[in-house]
Chains A and B, each alone.
Chain A
Amino acid sequence: MRASSVLKAAGPGRALPSKLVKASGVIVSLILTFVGLTAVTFTIGRVMPADPVLAIVGDRASQEVYDQVFLQLGLDKPIYVQYLKYLGQLLQGDLGTSIMTAQPVAEDILRFFPATMELATVATLLGVFVGIPMGVLAAVKQGRWPDHVVRVIGLIGYSAPIFWLGMVALLVFYARLDWVAGPGRLDVFYDGIVDPVSGILLLDAALAGEWDIFDNALDHLILPASILGTFALAYIARMTRSFMLDQLGQEYILTARVKGIPEWQVIWRHAFRNVLVQLITIIGLTYASLLEGSVLTETIFSWPGIGLYITKSLFNNDMNAVLGGTIVVGVCFVGINMLSDLLYKLVDPRVR
């Protein structure tokens, strides 16, 4: 009996196997994604002109020391053998050790990723809670001054160099006005007082009841999150405006207005509800790109995040760290996409 006949014969229980098929499809696609991701990153790392041995031994190493490390790293083996060995370690949960930090990559990621997550989450929340109302306002007041203001803000947030924006913000709000704390995640004197549980300082400080540290961490977080948030805000506001304009021109909106439904209900209950699905995609993508890390923001604000970690690792040809970081970023993208899919179903019955 063929498999399809079995499925058909299952009758009322047909939903379960179909879900299984779907789930296995997702799993296979995930596996292929990660094999592809690691293979491409690994190959790029190996064919780059930078020398991973020199990253370890330094420029002045004698040829004897160089050769010793070359063999230790297994670089004498064909690239596919090196890759398979790496993949084997990966399957055992071993991401290797970073050259730069001398720590297991998994430990590094547990330290650097929450820092980025903290920053990206606050930045995205800022983008959502300020950007969406701005976008809606701009669409409703199309062609009038609120629209112009929102569009200019969007343009600036999207096009102003983040490095420059960060420096100006530090100069104004930290150095001159003294409203926020300077670069770093925490004043150095507080370092090591709170044991990392989640790695997210605000959360860990709150869990430990260390409110001074919570306050200090918040002081440090505000400015980089705001700078990163301007990018998220600009993008979300622009897209919200565009989606809303599309919906507000639809006949059902005209009908709703003719029926005398209050304008706020027309905007928020009718038009906005219909742009939610698209917005979820935009927010998801924004969040994922921020999770990938904003290298420049992390550089200016001395924020030990995953973006800076991957970039510095790449420059130092620290391939274990690059691969580990890339996998985490890949997982984030896939995870956020899956979450977006689930949210579609929640907000739009047609997708269910």
Chain B
Amino acid sequence: MKKIKITLLGFAAALMLVTGASQAATPKNTFVLAKDIADIITMDPAEVFELTTGEIIANIYDRIMMFEPEDLQNLVGGVAESWEVSEDGKTITFKVRSGLKFHSGNPVRAEDVAWSLQRVVKLNKTPAFIVTQFGWNADNVDSLVKATDNDHLQITITEEFSPGLVLNALSAGIASVVDKKLVMSHEKDGDLGYDWLKSNSAGSGAFSLKTWKANEIVMLQAHKGYRHGAPGMDRVILQHVSEPSSQRLLLEKGDIDMARNLTPDQVKGIEGNSDIAVDGHPKGTIVYMAANAGHPILGKDKVVQAMRHLIDYDSMADSFLAGQFVVHQAFWPAGLWGALETTPYKQDVVTAKALLAEAGHADGFELTIHTLTNSPFPEIAQAVQANLAKGGIKTNIVTLEGKTLWPKYRAREHDIILAHWSPDYVDPHSNADAFANNPDNRFEAKKTGHLTWRNAWSDDASNSLAIKARNELDLDKRKQQYLELQAMLQKKGPFVIMFQQNEQVARRRNLDGFVSGSNFDLVFYRNVTKR
């Protein structure tokens, strides 16, 4: 060890003769955050579905409806100043705020808003399902989503959906309003500006995209004419630092203002540093285990119920997950409207063994757990392995990269999957549709967007309650139905829901105003200030 240091010291000393380094704190008008930004593959809001770009476009584009950083609980109008819902709940007319400008200087018109939604449907990229579920397709969207004049947008849905759900869905990234005039000036071969917008921006939000260099840097420039006033920082820089320990060193040195991917150990390591604060932001990501109901043993409700009793949730949350995940046992994340926050399960080996005996498996059996390679999934899988062993369930763990794991999951080629899920938009239907509804359980139906389908599980009561809640016009009743649905799925079904993420963000103490809401795309930079 000593010799290594001497060696390194020698190199460095020799090289220091050539140069001398002196680091400065980040500029007062610039917010620099370190993050693993390798997941960015596009900046086009019609296609964005990744965590990092989700938050970036939330700062570049205003959406039709929005959750604002000042109040993350209440849905308000974004570019929409007001809206009216028709009696049958199928038509909503929005009044677009007057005087709004895109970064280009072009005015924000109802036509831009309509075109933005039409473009999402016509391009039909992955997140398009959020609006195509309303019955829109490339052929009918022009007549169902239209500007009635310069200030009014009218949308009509053809499927049964609660208007509350529709409004919530219009707060998702796909409801970002893009500058039609600018984007169409870059159109090639009828691509609706898709190629250009992949690496450029055309919004009216608090920031515009200045630079994106994949795996290196994203730089945002403040939009001084933003409707809420100029952002606190002139520039925001997302610096790609994939290694958490490097993030920690940069933060401690003051070369960045915020580190977004620290591990629990690193968070613990900086606790005594008076220049750094660590904030917890509850997120909507849940960690769950799913049993393939097509498996002869896992298809039995009592077996899955026994597994729920075998897991020692608290022990994991208090040890290696400390601070970054909390126990949560329902499909809709705590803190959001309609969430069931009860946690009825604790490790109870006696009950679990009794259930296994009733299911005819008192002597146990053997399974494979497939999970992701990135932390904390291998660690959770190992703890689960030890927990299940107490009930006589022997498990083998296979860790795979997502790109290899998901095809297996989508082809129902698993016994047990340990994975995560985040809502696509802030409405319980987003998760209910995945965890509780299975429109067609036949293999050839390939309803891969539904986790129920991936686990070959379908239940009439669960399906009908999920649809009933989706369509319910009365908000209180709707909330009640979702609570009931979550309670139902705590007792039956293929899912063992275990944890909810608490994002730990470490920042220099001179920085304030960073807001990170429950959903992956509710992260706001515009109120950030530095002392």
Contacts and interface: CB of A to CB of B under 8 A. Distances in A.
Given A54-B406, A153-B7, A223-B12, A170 B246 contact: yes
A153 B242 CA distance: 30
B239 to A, nearest CB: 5
Interface string A58-71: 11111111101000
B215 A304 contact: yes
A337 interface: no
A169 interface: yes
A166 to B, nearest CB: 9
Given A58-B49, A299-B242, A312-B215, A170 B199 contact: no
B23 interface: yes
B249 interface: yes
Nearest to B255: A182
A48 B401 CA distance: 12
A179 B32 contact: no
B19 A165 contact: no
Contacts of A299: 242-243
A49 B404 contact: yes
Nearest to A160: B4
B447 A103 contact: no
Interface in B13-49: 15-16, 18-23, 26-27, 30, 32, 38, 41-42, 49
B214 interface: yes
A50 B447 contact: no
Nearest to B11: A226
Interface string B444-469: 00111100000000000000000000
Contact of A302 (B21, B49, B239, B401): B239
B361 interface: no
Contacts, number: 187
Given A100-B41, A312-B215, A59 B8 contact: no
Contacts of B489: none
Given A175-B252, A178-B23, A222-B19, A62 B198 contact: no
A315 B403 contact: yes
A172 interface: yes
A100 B424 CA distance: 21
B403 A316 contact: yes
Given A60-B449, A223-B12, A183 B241 contact: yes
B250 interface: yes
A323 interface: no
B126 A181 contact: no
Contact of A51 (B18, B252, B253, B407): B407
A61 B246 CA distance: 34
A275 to B, nearest CB: 24
B15 A222 contact: yes
A326 interface: no
A219 B12 CA distance: 11
A99 interface: yes
A51 B32 CA distance: 35
Contacts of B26: 189
A197 interface: no
Contact of B11 (A57, A111, A167, A230): A230
B12 A62 contact: no
A299 B76 CA distance: 42
Nearest to A174: B249
A101 interface: yes
A219 B21 contact: yes
A194 to B, nearest CB: 13
A140 interface: no
A184 interface: yes
Contacts of B402: 59
Interface string B371-406: 000000000000000000000000000000111101
A63 B21 contact: no
B50 interface: yes
Interface string A170-201: 11111101111111110111011000000000
B320 interface: no
Interface in A11-37: none
Contact of A58 (B126, B213, B241, B447): B126
Interface string A213-232: 00100110011001001100
Interface string A143-170: 0000000001100110010000101111
B215 A309 contact: yes
B237 interface: yes
Contact of B407 (A50, A65, A68, A309): A50
B347 interface: no
Interface of A: 48-51, 54-66, 68, 98-103, 108, 111, 126, 152-153, 156-157, 160, 165, 167-175, 177-185, 187-189, 191-192, 215, 218-219, 222-223, 226, 229-230, 299-302, 304, 308-309, 312, 315-317
- Nearest first, the 6 A-B pairs at minimum CB distance are A101-B214, A63-B446, A50-B403, A219-B21, A51-B407, A59-B406
Given A178-B253, A180-B15, 6 more contacts: A50-B404, A62-B129, A65-B124, A182-B23, A183-B246, A188-B217
10 contacts: A49-B408, A50-B404, A61-B449, A101-B41, A173-B12, A188-B32, A191-B211, A230-B11, A300-B246, A317-B403
Interface of B: 3-5, 7-9, 11-12, 15-16, 18-23, 26-27, 30, 32, 38, 41-42, 49-50, 124-126, 128-129, 198-199, 211, 213-217, 219, 237, 239-243, 245-246, 249-250, 252-253, 255, 401-404, 406-410, 424, 446-449
